[in-house]
Amino acid sequence: MSTAQKAKILQLIDSCCQNAKSTQLKSLSFVIGAVNGTTKEAKRTYIQEQCEFLEKLRQQKIREGRINILSMDAGVSNFAFSKMQLLNNDPLPKVLDWQKINLEEKFFQNLKKLSLNPAETSELVFNLTEYLFESMPIPDMFTIERQRTRTMSSRHILDPILKVNILEQILFSNLENKMKYTNKIPNTSKLRYMVCSSDPHRMTSYWCIPREETPTSSKKLKSNKHSKDSRIKLVKKILSTSILEGNSTSSTKLVEFIGVWNNRIRNALTKKKSFKLCDILEIQDNSGVRKDDDLADSFLHCLSWMEWLKNYESITELLNSKTLVKTQFGQVFEFCENKVQKLKFLQNTYNND
Task: Please give the annotated binding residues for Mg(2+), written as ranges.
Answer: 293-294
**What does the DSSP assignment read for 28-70?**
HHHHHT----SSHHHHHHHHHHHHHHHHHHHHHHHHHSEEEEE
54-87 in b/e burial notation, b at 16+ Cβ within 10 A?
Answer: bbebbebbeeeebbbbbbbbbbbbbbbbbbbbbe
Task: Give the number of other Cβ atoms within 10 Å of residue 304's Cβ.
Answer: 22
Q: Contact at 8 Å (CB) between 337 and 21?
A: no
CA dist 144 and 70 (Å) reads: 9
Rounded CA-CA distance 12/26 in Å is 18
Cα 167 to Cα 125: distance, rounded to the nearest angstrom: 7
Output the known binding site: 293-294
DSSP 80: E
> Which residues are paired to 181 by β-bridges?
none
Q: If we measure between CA atoms, which residue out of 342, 236, 254 comes closest to residue 304?
A: 254
Cα 227 to Cα 207: distance, rounded to the nearest angstrom: 10
DSSP state of 26: H
Give the whole-angstrom CA distance, residue 163 versus residue 296. Answer: 21
Taking the C-alpha atoms of residue 167 and residue 222, their distance in angstroms, rounded to an integer, is 28
Asked whether the beta carbons of 33 and 304 are under 8 A apart, the reply is: yes
Contact between 327 and 267 under an 8 Å Cβ cutoff? The reply is no
Nearest C-alpha neighbor of 199 from the set 343, 50, 327:
50
